[in-house]
Structure 1
Amino acid sequence: MNPTIAAMLPPAIVLTSLIPGLLIFALREDQYRLRTQLNMAGVFLKLALVGLMLYGVNQGLSFRFALPFLPGGELILHADAMSLQFVALSSVLWLATTIYAIGYLEGAPLRSRFFGYFSLCVSATVGLALAGNLVTFLLFYELLTLATFPLVVHRGTAGAMRAGRIYLAYTLGGGTLLLMGVALLHALTGSPEFVPGGYLAPLVDSHRAGLILAFVLLVAGLGVKAALIPMHGWLPTAMVAPAPVSALLHAVAVVKAGAFGIMRVVYDVYGVEPMQLLQLTQPLLWLAAATIMYGSIKALQQQELKKRLAYSTVSQVSYITLGVALLGPVAAVGGMVHLVHQGLMKITLFFCAGNFAETLHVHRIRQMNGLGKRMPFTMAAFTVGALGMIGVPPIAGFISKWYLGSGALEVDQGWVIVILVIAGLLNAAYFLPLVYRGWFMRAPETWPGDAKLGGGIPGRRETHWMLLWPTVFTAVLSLLAGILAGTDLSPLAWAQLIVQREFGL
C-alpha cells in the first residue's frame, strides 16, 4: 500500500463520522431522508476502512498519521492490533445503534441535534482508540465528554439535567486528574508513542515516586469513565437518557474509553516489568475485584430494569481491568476479549430494555411477567445477553471468564477464582429471575403501552423493525463470538494476536 494513503487512513476513519455529524447539525427536522443517508453513508464507509486496516495490520502493515501539536508532543493517530479491536467494535455497534436510534426517535423533536452529537461521540471514541500517545488520547478523551453530555440531557427534563450535571462533575473531574497525570509524565519523558512493553523502564529507579503518583492520577482519571468504585456514581444516574444513549454509554463509548485507557497505560506506557517493580499491580487488582463485587450486589438490589443493567455494567467492565491487572498473557486475553464480548452482550440488553419501554411501557422488573409471549424475539435476545453475562457456554461471556480464571491460576492469584465464582452466582441471582418472569410467569391481560407503536393491533407482536433487528443482530453476534471462538475470525483470535505482540510471544 502507498505510504501516503496508509498515513491518511487513521484520520479518514475519524472523519467518516465527524463530517456527517457536522452536516447533520445543519439539517431541518423534516429532512429525515437526508439525515438517514448521511448517517448510513458514514457508517458503511467507516466499516469499509476499518476492514481494510484490520487486514493490513494483520499482514504487518503500519498506519500512522502525525501532526505537530505541542513542544515535545505530536498529535498521533496510529492503528495497531489493540486500537483496531476497539475501533472495529465501535464501528459495528455504531451501525446497530444508528438503525436503532432512527426507529427509536421517529417523530421525536431535536433529531438533527441528537444525531449530530451522536456522530461526534463516535468520532471521539474512534480518535481515542487510534491515539498514538498520551497527549492525543487526552484530547479525544475530553472531546468524548463534551460530545456525550448533550446526549445525556437530550430529553431536557429536570431528571435529565440533574443527570447531566452529575455526569459533567464526574467526567470533568476525572479529566482533570488524567491531565495532571499526563502532564507529570510529559515532564519526565516527553510524550513518546505507545509501544508494546512500555517506555518507562529506564526511569523506575530514578523517578520512582513520580511514576507512582502519575499512575495513581492516570488510573483515577480513567477510572471515572471505567466506573471503578468510588468513581462510578454518574453511571446509574445517566440512565434517564434515551435507550440508544444508554447503549452507547455502556457498550461502545464512555465506559470502554476508560477501560481501554487503563489497558494502554499498563501495557504501552508502563509495561509489565515496571508495574511489578513499582508494586502497582496488586492495588489495581484489588480495586477491580472490589468493583466487580460491589456492582453485582448493587444490581441485585435494583427494581428498575435499566438501573439493574447499569450496576451490572459497573461490575462487568471491571473484568477488563481485572484481566489487565493480573499481568499474565492468558488473563490479558480474557480482559481484552471481554472489551468486545461485554459490548455485544450489554448493548443487546439495553436494546431489549428500550424495546420493552417504548413498546409496552415496561420499566420495572415486576412488569416483565409474560414478556416472552408478547415479544418473543426481544425476550430471546435478552435471554442470550443475560446468560452471556452470567458466563453460560457457549455465549461470549463464558469465553472471557474462562480465560480470566485460567489467567489468575497462571500467575498464582487463585483468590481471583473465588471472586469470579461469587460474582457469577450474583449475576445469576439478578438475571435469571428476569428470564424466568419473561418466559414462565403469566402475562397481564393488557400492557401499559398497548396503544403505542402498533402494540394494540390484534395479533401484532414485537415492535418496530428498526428496534427489533439491531437487537437480534447483536444477540446473534454475542452467540457467534462464543461458538466461533476457536476460529481465526473471532474476537478471541484478535485478542490473542494483541497479547502476542504486547508480551513479545
Structure 2
Amino acid sequence: MNFLQQAMPLLVVLSSLIPGLIIFTLREDQRALRTFLNLAGVSVQLVLVALMLLGVSRGFSFKLQLPFIPNADLILRADALSLQFVTLSSVLWLATTLYAIGYLKGSAQHSRFFGYFSLCVSTTVGLALAGNLITFLLFYELLTLTTFPLLVHRGTREALKAGKIYLAYTLTGGTLLLLGIVVLHSLAGSPEFMTNGYLQAFQDDHRLTLTLAFALLIAGLGVKAALFPLHGWLPRAMVAPAPVSALLHAVAVVKAGAFGIIRVVHDVYGISLAHTLNLMSPLLWLAAFTIIFGSVMALRQNEIKKRLAYSTVSQVSYITLGVALLGPIAAIGGLVHLVHQGLMKVTLFFCAGIFAETLHVHRIQDMNGIGRRMPLTMAAFTVGALGMMGLPPIAGFVTKWYLGMGALEMGQPWVLLILVGSGILNALYFLPLIYRGWFGLAPERWPEDTGLGGGIPGWRETHWMLLAPTLFTALASILVGVLAGTPISPLAWTHFIVNPEFGL
C-alpha cells in the first residue's frame, strides 16, 4: 500500500476539519472568505471520495493505522460500506452548506456556526471511516460535542433546554457504548472490523458476556439511532435552525447510530454468531415497534418540524429492521435506506425551513395554499413526502420493496404487516400536508417576505440559495429510484457491499 492510499482517509477528514478551524478565526464581515472556505472544503472532499470510490470498486484498499493503546490502534479505512456513508455525507454537506449560507443571511455568529458545521462533517466522515470500535467511539463522542453548539445556536431558553436534554441522552448513550466496547476489548481486544465478525472463536465459553456486550452496544447506539424508548431527545432538537435539523436527521447523528448498529451486527459479531446467540429477534421486534410508534406519534403533531422529527424516528428504524432480519435481500434494503432516507428527509427539512423563514409558516394548519405561493418548494416537499410513503418510482419504494422481499426470504411474513401499516400511517400524516399545500384555501394576504425571497420583483419562491439545494435533493430522490437498476445507483453499490458477505 503506497503513501497516498494510507493518507487518503485522513485527507478526507482534514478536508472539512481544516476549513472549519480557519473559519473560527474569521471576522463576521469576512463572508466571501468564509463562503470560499466552505465550498472549497466540500469540493476537495468530493474529489477525494470519488477517487476512493473508484479505487475500492477496482479492488484497491485505503487504510491508515496509528498506535493508540494496547491491542487497539486508531484505524481509518475506506471500504464499500464506509464509502456509501461518506458519499452521502459529502454530497449533502454541499447541499446543506449552500442552503445554510442563504438561510443564515443577516443573522449573527456566522463564523461560529460554520466552524462547528464543518467540524460536525469531519466527525461524521471520521466515524464512517473508522476501522475498529475504539476509533468509532472516538468520533462518536466527538460528534456529540460538535453538534451541541449547532443545536443551541439560537441561544434561546428553549434551545438551551433542548441542548441539555440532547447531552443527557447522548452522553449516557456514549457511556453505554464505552462499557460495551470495554467488555469486548477485555475479551478479544479491538481488532479491525471484519466481514462476518471477529468474535466467532469466543462463542462457546463466553455467550453471556457476548450477549451483555451486545445489549450495551445497541443501547448506546440506539440513542443516536432514536430507537424507542431512547428517542426523546430528537423531537426536542427541532428548535435548531433548519440546516442543523436537516444535518441531524439526514446525515449526522441519527445515521451515526444506525451505521454503528450495522457495524456491530455485521463486522463485530457477524451474521452467524448473531444468529447463534439469538441476538436479532429482540432487535427486530424493537425496530418494528419503533417504526409504528414513530408514525403514530407523527400523526399527533401539529408543528411541521415535529411531525418530520417523529417521521425520522420511524424511518431510520427501517435500517435496523433490514439488518436484524439477517438476510441478504433485507440487508440491501436496510443499507440502501441510509442514502434514500437521507435524500428524502433533507428535502423535507429544507422545505420546512423555507416555509418557516420566508413566510413564517410553522404549523400544518397554516400551510393552506402555500403550493400556489411557492409551487417549486411545495413540489419538492411533495416528492419527499410521497417517497417516505413508498410510492414508486421515488427512492422510498425501493427500500420497502427490498425489505418486504427480504422478510419473505427469511420466513418473517409479519414484517409485511409492519411495512404496510407504516405506509398507511405515513399517508395519514403526509397527505393532509400535501392536500393543504395544493388545495387548501390560501389566506388573503401572506406575511411580508422576510428578505429570503431575494428581492426580485414578482418572484414567488424563496432565495435561490435555499431553493437550489432543495430542488437538487428532491430530483435526486426521484433519480435514485428511477435509476435503481443501473450500475450507477446507490442500490447497485449496496449490492456490491452485501454480496461478498453473504456469498452471493
TM-score normalised to structure 2 length: 0.99
Residue 71 of structure 1 deviates from its aligned partner by 1.0
**Which is further off, 447-456 or 17-26?**
447-456
Residue 503 of structure 1 deviates from its aligned partner by 1.7
Deviations 1:343-393 (A, max 9, x none): 000000000000000110000000001111100000000000000000000
Q: Which residue of 1 aligns with 2:191?
A: 192
Q: Which residue of 1 aligns with 2:100?
A: 101
Q: Which residue of 2 aligns with 1:233?
A: 232
Letter in 1 for 2:167: L
Letter in 2 for 1:300: L
Deviations 1:369-426 (A, max 9, x none): 1111100000000000000000000000000000000000000000000000000000
> What is the CA–CA distance in structure 1 between the aligned matches of 2:503 and 2:36, rounded to whole Å?
44
Q: Which residue of 2 aligns with 1:296?
A: 295
Match runs of 1:464-475 below 5 Å: 464-475=463-474
Match runs of 1:426-445 below 5 Å: 426-445=425-444
SS in 2 for 1:119: helix
> What is the CA–CA distance in structure 2 between the aligned matches of 1:267 and 1:451, rounded to whole Å?
49
**Is 1:141 the counterpart of 2:140 in the alignment?**
yes
Residue 446 of structure 1 deviates from its aligned partner by 1.4
Deviations 1:220-253 (A, max 9, x none): 0000000000000000000000000000000000
**Is 1:110 the counterpart of 2:109 in the alignment?**
yes
**Is 1:371 the counterpart of 2:370 in the alignment?**
yes
Match runs of 1:290-329 below 5 Å: 290-329=289-328
**Is 1:163 the counterpart of 2:167 in the alignment?**
no
Q: Which residue of 1 aligns with 2:34?
A: 35
Runs of 4+ deviating beyond 4 Å = 455-458
> What is the CA–CA distance in structure 2 between the aligned matches of 1:38 and 1:181, rounded to whole Å?
39
SS in 2 for 1:393: coil
Q: Which residue of 2 aligns with 1:409?
A: 408
Match runs of 1:376-387 below 5 Å: 376-387=375-386
2:102–2:466 Cα contact (<8 Å) kept: yes
> What is the CA–CA distance in structure 2 between the aligned matches of 1:455 and 1:128, rounded to whole Å?
37
> What is the CA–CA distance in structure 1 between the aligned matches of 2:170 and 2:450, rounded to whole Å?
39
> What is the CA–CA distance in structure 1 between the aligned matches of 2:453 and 2:344, rounded to whole Å?
27
Residue 107 of structure 1 deviates from its aligned partner by 1.4
Residue 449 of structure 1 deviates from its aligned partner by 4.1
**Which is further off, 25-34 or 450-459?**
450-459
> What is the CA–CA distance in structure 1 between the aligned matches of 2:286 and 2:174, rounded to whole Å?
20
The percentage of aligned residue pairs carrying the same residue is 72
> What is the CA–CA distance in structure 1 between the aligned matches of 2:458 and 2:443, rounded to whole Å?
16
Unaligned residue ranges in structure 2 (runs of 5+)? none
Residue 455 of structure 1 deviates from its aligned partner by 8.2
Q: Which residue of 2 aligns with 1:272?
A: 271
SS in 2 for 1:78: strand
Residue 454 of structure 1 deviates from its aligned partner by 3.8
Q: Which residue of 2 aligns with 1:25?
A: 24
**Is 1:462 the counterpart of 2:469 in the alignment?**
no
> What is the CA–CA distance in structure 1 between the aligned matches of 2:285 and 2:450, rounded to whole Å?
50
> What is the CA–CA distance in structure 2 between the aligned matches of 1:295 and 1:473, rounded to whole Å?
27
> What is the CA–CA distance in structure 2 between the aligned matches of 1:230 and 1:24, rounded to whole Å?
38
> What is the CA–CA distance in structure 2 between the aligned matches of 1:108 and 1:66, rounded to whole Å?
42
Letter in 2 for 1:21: G
SS in 1 for 2:205: coil
1:358–1:449 Cα contact (<8 Å) kept: no
TM-score normalised to structure 1 length: 0.99
Residue 456 of structure 1 deviates from its aligned partner by 8.6
**Is 1:207 the counterpart of 2:200 in the alignment?**
no
> What is the CA–CA distance in structure 1 between the aligned matches of 2:448 and 2:275, rounded to whole Å?
56
1:362–1:448 Cα contact (<8 Å) kept: no
Letter in 1 for 2:501: E
Unaligned residue ranges in structure 1 (runs of 5+)? none
Count, aligned residues? 504
2:368–2:438 Cα contact (<8 Å) kept: yes
Residue 190 of structure 1 deviates from its aligned partner by 0.3
SS in 2 for 1:6: helix
> What is the CA–CA distance in structure 2 between the aligned matches of 1:129 and 1:455, rounded to whole Å?
37
> What is the CA–CA distance in structure 2 between the aligned matches of 1:441 and 1:434, rounded to whole Å?
9
> What is the CA–CA distance in structure 1 between the aligned matches of 2:288 and 2:450, rounded to whole Å?
45
1:396–1:481 Cα contact (<8 Å) kept: yes
> What is the CA–CA distance in structure 1 between the aligned matches of 2:499 and 2:37, rounded to whole Å?
39
> What is the CA–CA distance in structure 2 between the aligned matches of 1:502 and 1:137, rounded to whole Å?
21
SS in 2 for 1:377: helix
Q: Which residue of 2 aligns with 1:173?
A: 172
Residue 460 of structure 1 deviates from its aligned partner by 2.1
Match runs of 1:233-272 below 5 Å: 233-272=232-271
